Amino acid sequence: MIQKLEINGVHTVLTDDLKKYITRKIGKLDKYMPRHARESAHAEVFVKERTIKAKQERECEVVLHLPGDTIIVKESTINMFAAVDIVEARLKNQLKKYKDTHNAHRIHRKVIMRLKRTPA
């Protein structure tokens, strides 16, 4: 579970159901992070509601602060819960990419150590 998770409502009232849903969905994304990033990960969730041409849209924006990088994902749909689901899926993909790029040096060290151990 992400230790620091801030949920802010802009032009909307946050219900307890929505807060629990966001905490459950976004809070459990730490399993996709590298271990060194889990302690210092900080997520900010902004829930917005706006009217464009007599059409109401709900927008969910997540700013995830990680060591050495910041991931920002936005999505707007008619339903707020659907927007949270889409943001969660997109964050999973971004975190997998982050994990691949930031753990590359560890894999490289393992390969070098294996090469040193094998006789020539």
Which of 81, 26, 76, 27 has the alpha carbon at shortest distance from 52?
76
pLDDT above 70: residue 23: yes
Q: Please report, for the domain that includes residue 10, its CATH number.
A: 3.30.160.100
pLDDT above 70: residue 105: no
Range of the domain at 85: 4-117
Number of domains in the chain: 1
pLDDT above 80: residue 109: no
CB-side neighbour CA atoms (13 Å) of 81 = 7
Q: Give residue 35's pLDDT.
A: 86
pLDDT above 80: residue 112: no
pLDDT (tens digit, 9 = 90+) per residue, 68-98?
899 999 999 999 999 999 999 999 999 999 9
Looking at the chain, the whole-number percentage of residues with pLDDT higher than 90 is 68
